[in-house]
Amino acid sequence: MRFFFDAEQFTLVYDIVDIMIPRTDTPGAVDSHTAQVLDELMISWASPSTQQQFTLFLLEFLQRAKNAFNANYLSLSKENRQAFVEQIDEIVFDTDKGDFSIAYKRFKALIFHIHYSSEIANPNFFLVPGGYRGSLSQDELNVIYERKYL
C-alpha cells in the first residue's frame, strides 16, 4: 500500500483532525478515518501543487509550534496541542492572509468535508438521484425514505 504522508506528517494530520473534530457523544474524525482518507486523496486526487501546498503547510505548522513552545508539536501535551490549533485557527481566520493561511483553510475545509460526508458521521444520508421534486406529501416522503431513493 502506498502512503503520501511520511510517519511524522501522518501523525501530525491524525492529531490535528482529532483536535478539530473530536469524538464526543458523536463520532469524531478518528472514527471516520479522516486522516487516512486525506492521505489517499493526496495520492489519487490531489494535483502536484496541492500536494506541495499541504506538505509545506505541515512543515510550517511544525515550525510555528516550535517557535511558540520551543518544542516539537508532537511532544507537547494534549492541552498545549489543542490550544495551539485553536490559536492557529484564530490567527488564520482573523489576520493572516499568506500562503499558510490559504493552505490551512483548504486543509480544514477538506477535513470537515471528508468527515461529514462519511457514513459514520452522517448515517442517515442517502443520495437522492434525479431531479428536484418539491411539494411531496408525507406519504410520498415516507416511501422515499423506506426505499432510500426517489
86 backbone φψ class: left, alpha, beta (φ>0; ψ -120 to 50):
alpha
Predicted TM-score of the model (pTM): 0.82
Residue 76 and residue 54: Cα distance in Å, rounded? 22
At 7-32, the pLDDT tens digits run 999 999 999 999 999 999 999 999 99
In this prediction, residue 143 carries a pLDDT of: 86
> How do residues 29-86 score in pLDDT, each as one tens digit?
999 999 999 999 999 999 999 999 999 999 999 999 999 999 999 999 999 999 999 9
The alpha carbon dihedral of 10, 17, 57, 82 has a sign of negative
Q: Give the type of residue at 62.
A: L
The pLDDT assigned to 83 comes to 98
pLDDT of residue 70: 98
Please report where in the chains the cell 503520501 appears, as a residue. 4
Count other Cβ atoms within 10 Å, centred on residue 104.
Answer: 22
CA 55, CA 107: separation in Å to the nearest integer? 11
pLDDT at 125 over 80: no
Binning pLDDT at 50, 70 and 90, where does residue 134 land? confident
- Cell numbers standing for residue 124: 442517515
